[in-house]
Structure 1
Amino acid sequence: MRYASQVKPISYLKANAAEVLAHITELREPLVITQNGEAKAVLLDVASFDETQETLALLKILALGTQDVAAGKVKPVADVVTRLRAKHPSAR
């Protein structure tokens, strides 16, 4: 997804910081900040940042699991269930 319409120079951010923060919080869209005509930073609301971090963490877990499968570090589910039941016989 591109955010070409959400680009502002750093001078705009300096002059309108409170308005910019209210805008990105309300719309939950990132804002690209430029300096000397070049993109330098992305500003986004905290909720969006948190969601992005959670998504990245889940993707990392998925990638690690895929690596384990590729490396043959897997066990049949029946073996795992048998082992867990042996460890916790009252949990049946």
Structure 2
Amino acid sequence: MKYSAQVKPISFLKAKAAEVLLDLAERREPMVITQNGEAKAVLQDIASYEQTQDTLALLKLLTLGNRDIEAGRTRPVRAVIARLKAKASRD
């Protein structure tokens, strides 16, 4: 995705905030806001933001899982199932 088409100065955001928000929700593409010609912020619709956060959380879980595997902090699935069955039969 190229962001060059979605680069706008802060004055554009100030003048057309409501229009910008509608456009963000419709296009689901982030917008780069510049100040004095320098990129300062990125705006995105809430659905895209939530999706990004969910993706980051999943990637973090995968990373933690990979670290556990590398550190040998895993158990065979059969052992886990046997333990769960034993626990369930005691309850």
Q: TM over 0.5, yes or no?
A: yes
| Distance (Å, rounded) in 1 between the aligned partners of 2:89 and 2:48 | 43
The residue that corresponds to 2:76 in the other structure is 76
The CA deviation string for residues 26-64 of structure 1, in whole angstroms up to 9 with x for no partner, is 111100000111111000001110111011001000000
Gaps of at least 5 residues in structure 1 are none
Task: Return the letter of the residue paired with 1:7.
Answer: V
The residue that corresponds to 1:56 in the other structure is 56
The CA deviation string for residues 72-92 of structure 1, in whole angstroms up to 9 with x for no partner, is 1011111101000001139xx
The residue that corresponds to 1:17 in the other structure is 17
| Distance (Å, rounded) in 1 between the aligned partners of 2:35 and 2:23 | 20
Total equivalences in the alignment: 90
Instruction: Quote the offset at 1:2 in angstroms.
Output: 3.3
Following TM superposition, the consecutive aligned residue runs of length 4 or more in structure 1 with deviations greater than 3 angstroms are none
Instruction: Quote the offset at 1:13 in angstroms.
Output: 0.4
Secondary structure of the 1:64 match is helix
| Distance (Å, rounded) in 1 between the aligned partners of 2:89 and 2:33 | 58
Task: Return the letter of the residue paired with 1:43.
Answer: L
Provide the aligned C-alpha RMSD in A. Answer: 1.2
